[in-house]
Amino acid sequence: MSDGLRSDRSGVFTVWDRLDSLARIEPGQHTFTLIVDSTDLVAETDESDNTFQTGVIVVAAPDPQIPPPIPNRLPGLAPVAPPGWPAPIIASAYSGAKLQGPLSMNELSYIRHALENQGLASTPDNVHTKLYYDGKLVSKEFRSGAIMDNQVTRSEWAGLSEVVRLTPGEHTLKLLVDPHNLIDETDETKNSYEVTFMWGGGEVPVLQLPRPSPPPDLPDPPLLPNLVPCLRFGSDGALIVSNRQDTFKDSQLIVSEPVYIDVVVRNESSVDLASSYEVL
């Protein structure tokens, strides 16, 4: 992207060497296409002369090495709707909302998309994605790999109005995952998803958040204590009978030996018992 161009001047961009990281270069005849102002964001005197094409023939390198065998376990990339999302692409005028709309040409469009590696192996290389608006490329990015059976979501993007002139009506958003087939996959037919949205021309209504549910009714607090026999940690029960003192363990009683009884009582109420009580 350039920062402008003065009248009757030329802009030169040289020594770009990232083609092999974005496309799989194979022998044969190929076409390179240059599109200036690809999304028609700039109003021009002539919109028909923004394209230039040239043909290139690629030949095999001398003494090519034998390509490594394709492994049996491959990744499988596909757009996917994460939990809580209505679709793999969501777009709304509300930042942070997981909704399909509403949208307006007068408001920012917050767009997110997600993909998943549904294959049997993680990707060895970067995963590229491209987002199209009515067939025009508006956003591209890459992430460093995708782990097997793992979902990846793009952070919220609000730059659509900066690269294309929005108009009211229906428009499509299309997501392409691994658009240049740099990654060998189990199924190369699941790399795209397309959805239609409606952009309005006015203001969007204020987002109505769901009203929280009222808290459940709490029981009335107790007014009295509540004494119950209970177990104590390390004791054999609420009532322990033994010939020995302070053991809290039941034992076989011996005739003519003194008998000691231990009792464990608990107040299960939140109201204290201030007076004395008896255990019978």
Domain boundaries, the chain: 22-58, 77-200, 225-268
pLDDT band at 152 (very low <50, low <70, confident <90, very high): confident
Q: Is the separation of the CB atoms in 196 and 171 below 8 Å?
A: yes
Q: List the beta strands (DSSP E) in the chain.
A: 28-35, 51-58, 77-79, 89-92, 103-104, 110-117, 127-133, 136-143, 151-153, 169-177, 192-200, 227-229, 239-242, 260-263, 265-267
CA-to-CA distance for 262 and 250, rounded, in angstroms?
Answer: 9
**CA Rg value for the chain:** 36
Q: 103-112, 114-123, 140-149, 178-187: which range is least confident on average? A: 140-149
Q: Which one of 6-20, 32-46, 167-181, 229-243 scores highest in mean pLDDT? A: 167-181
- Omega into 221 within 30° of 0, i.e. cis? no
The pLDDT of residue 89 is 94
Task: Decide if pLDDT at 146 tops 80.
Answer: yes
Q: 2-16, 62-76, 83-97, 164-178: which range is least confident on average? A: 2-16
CA-to-CA distance for 102 and 199, rounded, in angstroms?
Answer: 7
pLDDT band at 47 (very low <50, low <70, confident <90, very high): confident
Q: 34-48, 95-109, 170-184: which range is least confident on average? A: 34-48
CB neighbours of residue 10 within 10 Å: 6
Considering the domain 77-200, what is its CATH architecture?
Sandwich (2.60)
Nearest to 79 by CA among 88, 70, 92, 87: 88
Q: Is the separation of the CB atoms in 267 and 249 below 8 Å?
A: no
What is the residue type of 3?
D
Q: Which one of 29-33, 36-40, 86-90 scores highest in mean pLDDT? A: 86-90
Mean pLDDT of 81-88: 93
pLDDT band at 6 (very low <50, low <70, confident <90, very high): low
Q: What is the largest CA-CA distance in the chain?
A: 122
Mean pLDDT of 89-112: 92
What is the pTM (predicted TM-score) of this model? 0.62
Q: Which of the pair, 151 or 56, is modelled with greater confidence?
A: 151
The pLDDT of residue 266 is 79
